[in-house]
Amino acid sequence: MFNMQQIRKIFQQIHIVRSPKHRLATFGASRIQYQLVTDVPGFADRSRLREGIVMANKPAIITPQSMAEQFTGFGDDVREFVDTLVKQYGQGLRGLEYQFRNEMISTRIELTPPQSTIQILSKRIDQSDDDRQALIAGNDHMWELSVMKFIVEETMASFSSNINELNERGLFEGEERHRRSKRREIDHLFRLAKNDKAAIPALGAKLKEYGLFERYQDAFFRLVNP
């Protein structure tokens, strides 16, 4: 297990050398092939090349708290890695949710140091017609975190276009109607509670049910202790 100080230090060293030219899909699954170049501990003249695929399902709603469940196939330290991602990207992770699945294809040792291997692979990608390839420079001890950082940054880069497409089709309108309905119900309960103290417990229960108690707590406590 790694401690948070180790994770943060290595996190800063991870570099996305080449991102896919295509963003993640809004209305379907995305498949991205990646090449991850890392060091080989004890061998400065060699590098390790991992090739794999990350599958991202059709996006839904995302919260930072749910992110640990979004990643499978990323090792035993996934929760600590997720904590690092949440602290790094914060509110940028709110909005759309992807389910990510990592599939390792191959791992091999290259007889060149990491930077040389990266230069060779970069040229190949630039000359290729495949626009869904990614190249990542990472750390051998935390290679899973390297792939996780890549896919989260790819998600954030795709966010704006995904949101625009969903808005164009009116797919957020149902959720907005639901939020307005909740607000109307809460406002109604506040009016009842102002005239009848017996309605205060029902108001408090509804605020907790909707996860709105913190937002309305000052107004609620003014009713309890006027």
* pLDDT given for residue 50 in this prediction: 97
- Looking at the chain, the whole-number percentage of residues with pLDDT higher than 70 is 80
The CA angle 108-110-111, to the nearest 5 degrees, is: 145
- At residue 194 the predicted structure's pLDDT band, cuts being 50, 70 and 90, is confident
Q: What tens digit of pLDDT does each residue of 80-128 get?
A: 787 787 777 765 555 566 678 899 999 999 999 999 999 999 999 999 8
* pLDDT given for residue 166 in this prediction: 65
Q: What tens digit of pLDDT does each residue of 111-121 get?
A: 999 999 999 99
Residue 61: is its pLDDT beyond 80? no
pTM of the model: 0.59
Q: Which residue has the higher pLDDT, 215 or 116?
A: 116
- Distance in Å from the first CA to the final CA of the chain: 52
Give 3-state DSSP helix, strand, coil % of the chain, rounded to 5: 55, 20, 25
Query: Could you tell me the CA-to-CA distances from 89 to 80, 97, 141, 181, 212 in Å, in that order?
Result: 15, 14, 22, 31, 24
CA-CA-CA-CA torsion sign (137, 43, 49, 76): negative
Does residue 35 contact residue 130 with C-beta atoms inside 8 Å? Answer: no
* pLDDT given for residue 184 in this prediction: 85
